Structure 1
């Protein structure tokens, strides 16, 4: 009896998925989209920022509140004064938002593929942790830009005008205190931007909630989630911003605030607990439209380039 055996080809074993999926090929689009976000944020938010910085750093009796600061500024110096110091943040916000949002996009990818590989989508805590890392990363770009901006914003008239513009200000600081002087406030900048944990964590939560419970368009969801998460961020982070501005507008060659704690103690001793929220109203008013518009722009460009 002849038996025939059928030879079957070996069964193909599927290969495991690659460690680096195709998505990271788009790792550069966040940097591009961040540029558009930065330009949008500056034109919407800078006037509010000028009022905020002046209220944070002016003597207690100079302004009665944000409206008085706005009226005095525009009456004495013209409407363009609200955009004092806008040149460095115009370029600066383009660079800062490019670095911040570009690095955020990449930190999200790293968190998804290495910290939360079994999750279908990156959870809110992943977005929050990525936000901290993005905040620390951009601080090395933001610190000198915000230092120059703050010093220009507190120049009220000829008597207080020590610098003719952003380049002159940066050069003057370097001549007086070296590169370290330009980076004075780096630690306070990193402390302030650590609160990005709450910004990006809440942004993800609000975005998913709106998608599941409303009929809003994607752009509208981005706008409202961006504005509301910015309000959460500024409410929690504002005291650290007051300390940061206090350090950055201190004397260049002989600062009286040697450490972050010294500056915090000065704010408290000078104005009490309320001092940590001085200028909060214009900052809060600015936070929603500036960040809502900026994040809506960022997400729109991201969708276009993806």
Structure 2
């Protein structure tokens, strides 16, 4: 037997040794490893904090741009048949009744207050999700995540976000629907604002009432966020300037390309989950005790599959400018923080 041939026992010993964690042999080596680990932890923490801040700023941009579209969507989803002929009719009647500002921004206080932490948690969750994916799966040699891995990170981002999204959307849709109700002379609306909605919901059914629709919200936002971030990263990669010879990225993505990627991500998010959003809106605005199954049956009896898609056009119309504004705001916030702290 050749001296260069390893015995089976030696091979097993080497395999076990390879699996064991590296133990520092000197104090200097131990200090260096601790310092490197602390630096990596600090870098990961800073990355998550920046994602949190940038996501919050992007969310504010989304609300300012997209709320009128969202209001039209919710009113179409929850109105009785024949109340509106379409999204334009919602806008006309809302402005005629309450003026331009109140007519198009009814219920905006809830998303403005809630959207900053909501989007902040979403982008923080996405950043954390990517770190978890890198730690638990095989990543390409260049460090880029696959579309499937990005989708997994996107789905993860919806889990912590639901705790914020569900109650704030419950308040928002209630105020939006209240704005379309006709009041008798001298009659006051049931709710005077967002906090009054929360107080009355809590009084009527406790925390469970405030958080009604949480399961439907997660059922919408889980796959929606997976599609959202995957589409954004895919479009960004497709629009990034590349070297014609090597095919490698040769320049930075323009703000215009980021805007296009954000708009595409918004459309990609809404298409697969819109029926779930309709169920969620109905569930969160219904009186009394209702269930997801009951809402689904009621919608199907009322109009078949088409009953799950009222407001689909304004939702897609909103998705383009609102999500373009979101990602543009996020990228600008990241650039500003990089200049300030790097």
Q: TM-score, length-normalised on structure 2? A: 0.80
**What is aligned with 2:333?**
301
- Structure 1 residue 193 and structure 2 residue 213: aligned? no
Looking at structure 2, the residues matched to 230 and 25 of structure 1 have their Cα atoms a distance apart, in angstroms, of 28
CA contact (8 A) 1:210 1:216 kept: no
Looking at structure 2, the residues matched to 149 and 21 of structure 1 have their Cα atoms a distance apart, in angstroms, of 38
Unaligned runs of 5+ residues in structure 2 are 1-28, 243-248
Determine which of 153, 157, 182 is the counterpart of 1:134.
Answer: 157
- Structure 1 residue 280 and structure 2 residue 306: aligned? no
Looking at structure 2, the residues matched to 302 and 114 of structure 1 have their Cα atoms a distance apart, in angstroms, of 26
Looking at structure 2, the residues matched to 265 and 67 of structure 1 have their Cα atoms a distance apart, in angstroms, of 29
Aligned residue pairs, count: 292
CA contact (8 A) 1:246 1:263 kept: yes
Looking at structure 1, the residues matched to 258 and 43 of structure 2 have their Cα atoms a distance apart, in angstroms, of 21
**What is aligned with 2:128?**
106
Unaligned runs of 5+ residues in structure 1 are 1-12
1:154 match: secondary structure: helix
**What is aligned with 2:146?**
123
Looking at structure 2, the residues matched to 292 and 216 of structure 1 have their Cα atoms a distance apart, in angstroms, of 18
After superposition, what is the alpha-carbon deviation per residue over 1:231-268, rounded to whole angstroms, capped at 9, x for unaligned? 111111111100000100011xx22x32x222122111
| Structure 1 residues 303 and 277: CA distance shift in structure 2, 3 A | same
**What is aligned with 1:202?**
231
2:231 match: secondary structure: helix
- Structure 1 residue 52 and structure 2 residue 73: aligned? yes
Looking at structure 1, the residues matched to 138 and 199 of structure 2 have their Cα atoms a distance apart, in angstroms, of 46
CA contact (8 A) 1:189 1:244 kept: yes
Determine which of 22, 31, 39 is the counterpart of 2:52.
Answer: 31
**What is aligned with 2:183?**
158
2:122 match: secondary structure: helix
CA contact (8 A) 2:279 2:295 kept: yes
- Structure 1 residue 82 and structure 2 residue 111: aligned? no
Looking at structure 2, the residues matched to 60 and 124 of structure 1 have their Cα atoms a distance apart, in angstroms, of 41
Q: Over the residues paired in the alignment, what is the CA RMSD in angstroms?
A: 2.4
**What is aligned with 1:147?**
170
**CA shift at 1:115, angstroms?**
2.1
CA contact (8 A) 1:96 1:141 kept: yes
After superposition, what is the alpha-carbon deviation per residue over 1:78-113, rounded to whole angstroms, capped at 9, x for unaligned? 112211110110011111011111111121122123
- Structure 1 residue 72 and structure 2 residue 104: aligned? no
Looking at structure 1, the residues matched to 285 and 192 of structure 2 have their Cα atoms a distance apart, in angstroms, of 16
1:108 match: secondary structure: helix
Looking at structure 2, the residues matched to 92 and 202 of structure 1 have their Cα atoms a distance apart, in angstroms, of 25
Looking at structure 1, the residues matched to 163 and 203 of structure 2 have their Cα atoms a distance apart, in angstroms, of 20
Looking at structure 2, the residues matched to 114 and 139 of structure 1 have their Cα atoms a distance apart, in angstroms, of 24
**What is aligned with 1:228?**
264
